[in-house]
Structure 1
Amino acid sequence: MEATIELIKQLKQRILTSRYLVAKMANAESLRLYFTIGHDLDAEIKTKAWGDKVLAIVAARLQQELPGLRGFSTSNLKKMRLFYNAWAAVSEISSSLTNQLGNSKTEMSSLSTNQFEANDFSRFISIGFTHHVEIILKTEKAEDRWYYINQSAVNFWTVNHLRSELTNRSHLNEINRSNNFKNVLPEEISNKAIRAFKDQYLLDYVNVEDGDDEIDERVLERELVLNIKKFLMSLGNDFSFMGNQYRILVEEDEYFIDLLFFHRGLQSLIAFELKRGKFKPEYIGKMNFYLSALDDLVRKPHENPSIGIILCKEKDHKKVEYSFRDFSKPLGVATYKTSDTLPPQLKDALPDAETLKKLME
């Protein structure tokens, strides 16, 4: 019976691996097609000095030639041209997409710059065309685009999650200075920690009105716990939720950490303190105390030092920098952005504030 179970596991893995490879090959072929179509359209438009309106004619004629054809509307043809123009200048991409896409040896190790890795091309063809278009539309620099391509491929980001990361500008985390990780952690851990945390988190599923900070912090915490799956997606890969109002007992006094996580990649406890207002230097002392208690009372012997993140509405970078200067515990300060606008369809349907006031009267 055990042998049968093992056989089933092996067969399951083979099937899943095969399906992944087939899907990857199909996606790669689609990208090649869209790239070459983008090339042909761009060449014709430039050579014959046509305007973009010709794309509508091309889309209509394609429908006549291939009735029921999907995915080749005017807007999609524009995206194909955009896709081509974004990567035409990168010879390793353009030559691979047009000539050697099926060659598994085609890699990007020959790039002259240091911003690309050898497996980048494999990741490039692993994400869908819609992912590529979103990245191109929201970024300008090649290194920023590669950040999102790599993250999307490695972490299997959906298009919606990618859009959140793009709105959040998570690539700026690479140059984030709102932490002291490099100064207090070993290099191999500090680099991972810098990549693991963001300068700002987009919490568009939370809607907390301005008001008393003390009350709103509890409301914010409750909203995050109720939406813990979405919050984990906002945080990124490898975070595990351990609890809210996590109790630690020091001597005979109780203390409660707003949110406690464990990060598998860092092998560290992650304490989050929520603040509704602007960052204040005194927050650092409290977090430093929490981290000391976690390291002594909760952390396992094989785990790395606990990390603290103060999540607040606003921050002044200079105040954050000065606050970190003499602390030896790994600390970071990040901001968050919640939903503060109604969807257009609801905004049009509801009366304005003045009209609503009159109705209430």
Structure 2
Amino acid sequence: MDIELKKDIYEEIRGLLKSARENIVSTINSTMAKTYFLIGKRIVEEEQNGEKRAEYGKKLIKELSKKLTKEFGKGFSERNLEQMRKFYLAYSIPQTVSAEFRLSWSHYLILMRMENLDERNFYEIEAIENNWSLRELRRQIDSALYERLVLSRDKEKVKSLALKGQIIEKPEDVVKDPYILEFLGLEEQNSYSENRLETEIINNLEKFLLELGKGFTFVGRQVRFTFDEKHFRVDLVFYNRLLKCFVLIDLKIGEVTHQDLGQMQMYVNYYDRYVKLDDENKTIGIIICRDKNDTLVKMTLPEDNQQIFASRYMTVLPSKEEFKKIVEGK
């Protein structure tokens, strides 16, 4: 006789199976990456002990490729063996993060191309901690996440990015400038409304949460609050679990004004006084705008401001050259 399963027992067992599968995949990925590292190590050692000519290394890899392919099948082409060799050379540096390889071989193929060791270590840490897929890793690198975080940090904190990844301890740690929103598909739109921008963000909420960063959960869209018979709406409301506070976001398709900043200050004050719990931290307000005047923002906000921020957004992924210009102009 069939019985109706209680939802909680099904979800619990489902969770156990999913976790087991993820652990198996993770273990396989780690084992393969470590094996390829050791293969690369052995090739380099043989090259160093053999003849000091480049031709020897080429012949060595060619012969290995023939024999390994014959016995183990695909995956041991000359190109792949050369990649393993480069993998060892890149990750045998003492300052590298990996003591154990916890990402897939495909992840490391991307990471090992980075010449900046601090940048590479940062992306490796973040990919491990946030369980980034290959697509997510590529997207974060293409959107220059490391460079954007470096912009708002002093030398000491920049170094910590390479050692610990992104640490969220205070409000400014979650703010990026600019936000890269290329996934909204608005790059060919000559004009669009703030409502359209907001709608596309909601339609791509998972990607937007990834762009926001660590610890964010979605609370609501056009969240209304009322006092003195007047109604107000916050475009987007999030909660950050790491900072234990609400994060309010207003979207502006033009340049931010002092009125916009004043309005956000009022939103934040309301949440601090009537919404947040006693054990929660002060609310953060972020105005994400097409453009801003940094001097106007500084003059409008208090000198000790730690709650209100204005950040630009871009709907087209800039090239590395374009991004350098953005960085140099800040």
Q: TM-score range by the shorter chain?
A: 0.7 to 0.9
Shift of 1:9: 9.3
Matches of 1:42 and 1:340, distance apart in 2? 38
CA distance change for structure 1 residues 57 and 240 in 2, over 3 Å: closer, same or farther?
A: same
Q: Is the partner of 1:205 in helix, strand or coil?
A: helix
Which of 79, 86, 90 does residue 83 from structure 2 map onto? 79
Matches of 1:303 and 1:240, distance apart in 2? 15
Q: Is the partner of 1:72 in helix, strand or coil?
A: coil
Identity %: 25
Which moves more between the two structures, 283-292 or 24-33? 24-33
Alignment of 1:126 with 2:102, yes or no, is: yes
Alignment of 1:65 with 2:67, yes or no, is: no
Shift of 1:305: 0.8
Shift of 1:20: 5.5
Instruction: Determine if contact 1:206/1:339 at 8 Å carries over to the other structure.
Output: no
Shift of 1:11: 8.0
Give structure 2 stretches of 5+ with no counterpart. Answer: 1-6, 154-166, 319-330
Which of 29, 36, 39 does residue 38 from structure 2 map onto? 36
Q: Which residue of 1 aligns with 2:156?
A: none
Alignment deviations for residues 292-339 of structure 1 (CA, whole Å, 9 cap, x no partner):
122223222322111011212344555544544436451223333324
What TM-score, normalized to structure 2? 0.73
RMSD across aligned positions (CA): 3.7
Paired residues for 1:246-261 under 5 Å: 246-261=223-238
Alignment deviations for residues 59-96 of structure 1 (CA, whole Å, 9 cap, x no partner):
751465226x23333443333233222122217x6xxx
Q: Which residue of 2 aligns with 1:200?
A: 178
Which moves more between the two structures, 9-18 or 312-321? 9-18
Matches of 1:6 and 1:219, distance apart in 2? 38
Q: Which residue of 1 aligns with 2:126?
A: 151
Q: Which residue of 2 aligns with 1:48?
A: 53
Instruction: Determine if contact 2:247/2:283 at 8 Å carries over to the other structure.
Output: yes
Shift of 1:284: 2.0
Q: Which amino acid aligns with 2:133?
A: T
Q: Is the partner of 1:257 in helix, strand or coil?
A: strand
Shift of 1:263: 1.4
Instruction: Determine if contact 2:143/2:317 at 8 Å carries over to the other structure.
Output: no
Matches of 1:81 and 1:74, distance apart in 2? 11
Matches of 1:140 and 1:60, distance apart in 2? 27
| Aligned residue pairs, count | 296
Q: Which residue of 2 aligns with 1:241?
A: 218
Which of 276, 293, 311 does residue 288 from structure 2 map onto? 311
Q: Which residue of 2 aligns with 1:168?
A: 143
Q: Which residue of 2 aligns with 1:229?
A: 206
Give structure 1 stretches of 5+ with no counterpart. Answer: 94-115, 179-188, 342-361
CA distance change for structure 1 residues 59 and 337 in 2, over 3 Å: closer, same or farther?
A: farther
Which moves more between the two structures, 269-278 or 153-162? 269-278
Q: Is the partner of 1:246 in helix, strand or coil?
A: strand
Q: Is the partner of 2:222 in helix, strand or coil?
A: strand
Matches of 1:200 and 1:58, distance apart in 2? 50
Q: Is the partner of 2:254 in helix, strand or coil?
A: coil
Shift of 1:144: 2.1
Alignment deviations for residues 198-217 of structure 1 (CA, whole Å, 9 cap, x no partner):
333332221224545xx522
Which moves more between the two structures, 217-226 or 321-330? 321-330
CA distance change for structure 1 residues 55 and 152 in 2, over 3 Å: closer, same or farther?
A: farther
Which moves more between the two structures, 196-205 or 237-246? 196-205
Q: Which amino acid aligns with 1:162?
A: L
Alignment deviations for residues 243-302 of structure 1 (CA, whole Å, 9 cap, x no partner):
222212131222221111111222111111112234445432221121112222322232
CA distance change for structure 1 residues 327 and 42 in 2, over 3 Å: closer, same or farther?
A: same
Q: Which amino acid aligns with 2:36?
A: Y
